């Protein structure tokens, strides 16, 4: 999209983990009018609030990051809420944006949209070859509907909607809440707290065999900026690092970075989630020149350092 930097841009979820990074990066890149919105600004589950947002701000570009999201436990506990709130936000934001004359809609989906047994590396063509992993299927399918809607709106109305599929994100500023966090922040917190308390064991869900791919949050922000500026196509695009790590190996790395010397107990009564996750990232590089730059070890170290500093600050340690 030519001239994107001069357009008024709204980033939903702009006060969240990825959103804060994206808004800051866009301002650094010379975007003159970019606004990051949080739920306190507009409750985008309510159609009247979506209409109020479009009427009061009148954006030309919308980057939709807002989501109700969490790890396996949160997905199992709230499948109905995760489906409804994510689906209604995507559907109504795109429809009301079309009616308001939005020039570009960047829909940020999720790797959870892929079928449970997708061959590795995940290629975008495999998106419709099966049902997602059960524990996060309602969330994944709700976000996947933005791809269907965007392609349908492009066909009928000429609406410029693109769809990005980011892999699991991590980094400083992540959600470390034990009830809703994803695997990396959850394990960092468990290991640090165990080290500080002198505990000799940390419990981990599953058996450690699944693999996951992780993308540093700043790299994800870079990918979204590049796609906003350079990509106007109908096809979905993976956003990732292009490599996988087994959860058992991830646990070992986090233990090293946090200094936890104890053992890990694998709770095999808990679900593993999807067996493997690793993306083919060639389309993003070919279409808009994105390639992740941050090594996993470096990014993990920064996440641990951020959490340690925050934990010390909140406990009053100087």
113: in domain: yes
Catalytic-role residue among 31, 54, 114, 139:
139
pLDDT at 315: 63
Q: Count the neighbouring beta carbons within 10 Å of the beta carbon of residue 218.
A: 21
- How many domains, in total, are found in the chain? 2
pLDDT at 80: 95
50: in domain: yes
Statement to judge: residues 92 and 232 lie in one domain: yes
Provide the residue-wise pLDDT of the chain in tens; the chain has 318 residues.
656 688 999 999 999 999 999 999 999 999 999 999 999 999 999 999 999 999 999 999 999 999 988 777 777 889 999 999 999 999 999 999 999 999 999 999 999 999 999 999 999 999 999 999 998 899 999 999 999 999 999 999 999 999 999 999 999 999 998 887 889 999 999 999 999 999 999 999 999 999 999 999 999 999 999 999 999 999 999 999 999 999 999 999 999 999 999 999 999 998 888 889 999 999 999 999 999 999 999 999 999 999 999 888 776 544
pLDDT digits (tens, 9 = 90+) for 77-121: 899 999 999 999 999 999 999 999 999 999 999 999 999 999 999
Name the 3-class secondary structure at 66.
coil
Paired tokens of 285:
């590089």
CATH of the domain at 190: 3.90.25.10
CB 239 within 8 A of CB 167: yes
pLDDT at 157: 98
Statement to judge: residues 162 and 80 lie in one domain: yes
112: in domain: yes
177: in domain: no
In this prediction the pTM is 0.93
Q: How far apart are CA 158 and CA 313, in angstroms?
A: 51
Q: Calculate ∠ Cα 148-26-20, nearest 5°.
A: 80
pLDDT at 318: 42
Q: Count the neighbouring beta carbons within 10 Å of the beta carbon of residue 193.
A: 15
Statement to judge: residues 289 and 307 lie in one domain: no
Statement to judge: residues 57 and 79 lie in one domain: yes
Statement to judge: residues 258 and 114 lie in one domain: no
20: in domain: yes
Statement to judge: residues 75 and 194 lie in one domain: no
Statement to judge: residues 135 and 220 lie in one domain: yes
Q: Calculate ∠ Cα 61-66-67, nearest 5°.
A: 145
pLDDT at 291: 97
CATH of the domain at 64: 3.40.50.720
Statement to judge: residues 233 and 256 lie in one domain: no
139 given a catalytic annotation? yes
Q: How far apart are CA 227 and CA 232, in angstroms?
A: 8
175: in domain: no
265: in domain: yes
Element (H, E) at 238: strand 237-239
Statement to judge: residues 220 and 81 lie in one domain: yes
Statement to judge: residues 26 and 114 lie in one domain: yes
Range of the domain at 71: 4-170+214-242+275-293
Those residues with Cβ within 8 angstroms of residue 283's Cβ, 6 or more apart along the chain or in another chain? 124, 235, 237, 238
Statement to judge: residues 281 and 146 lie in one domain: yes
Return contacts of 50-59, CB within 8 angstroms, 24+ apart.
Answer: 50/89, 50/92, 50/93, 50/96, 51/96, 53/10, 54/96, 54/97, 54/100, 54/102, 55/100, 57/8, 57/10, 58/8, 58/100, 59/7, 59/8, 59/9, 59/10, 59/35, 59/102
46: in domain: yes
CA torsion 222→301→297→242, rounded to 10°? -30
**HSE toward the beta carbon, residue 90, CA cutoff 13 A:** 30
Phi-psi region of 101 (alpha: psi -120 to 50; beta: other; left: phi over 0): left
Statement to judge: residues 151 and 265 lie in one domain: no
CB 146 within 8 A of CB 159: no
């Amino acid at each position: 999209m030519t001239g994107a930097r001069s357009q008024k841009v709204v980033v939903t979820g702009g006060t969240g983990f990825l959103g804060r990074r994206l808004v800051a990066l866009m301002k650094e890149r010379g975007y003159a009018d970019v606004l990051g919105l949080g739920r306190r600004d507009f409750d985008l589950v309510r159609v009247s609030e979506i209409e109020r947002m479009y009427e009061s701000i009148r954006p030309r570009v919308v980057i939709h990051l807002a989501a109700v999201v969490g790890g396996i436990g949160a997905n199992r506990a709230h499948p109905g809420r995760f489906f409804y709130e994510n689906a209604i936000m995507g559907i109504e934001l795109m429809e009301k944006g079309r009616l308001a004359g939005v020039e570009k809609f960047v829909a940020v989906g999720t790797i959870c949209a892929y079928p449970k047994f997708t061959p590795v590396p995940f290629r975008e063509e495999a998106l419709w070859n099966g049902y997602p992993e059960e524990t996060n299927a309602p969330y994944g399918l709700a976000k996947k509907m933005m791809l269907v809607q965007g392609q349908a709106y492009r066909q009928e109305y000429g609406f410029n909607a693109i769809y990005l599929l980011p892999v699991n994100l991590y980094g400083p500023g992540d959600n470390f809440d034990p009830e809703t966090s994803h695997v990396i922040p959850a394990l960092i917190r468990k290991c640090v707290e165990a080290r500080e308390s002198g505990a000799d064991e940390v419990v981990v869900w599953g058996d450690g065999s699944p693999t996951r791919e992780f993308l540093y949050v700043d790299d994800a922000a870079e990918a979204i900026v590049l796609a906003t500026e350079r990509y106007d196509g109908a096809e979905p695009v993976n956003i990732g690092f292009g490599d996988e790590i087994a959860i058992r190996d991830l646990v070992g790395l986090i233990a090293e970075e946090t200094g936890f010397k104890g053992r890990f107990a694998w709770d095999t009564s808990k679900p593993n989630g999807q067996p493997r996750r690793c993306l083919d990232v060639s389309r993003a590089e070919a279409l808009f020149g994105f390639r992740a730059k941050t090594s996993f070890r470096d990014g993990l170290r920064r996440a641990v350092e951020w959490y340690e500093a925050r934990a010390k600050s909140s406990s009053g340690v100087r």
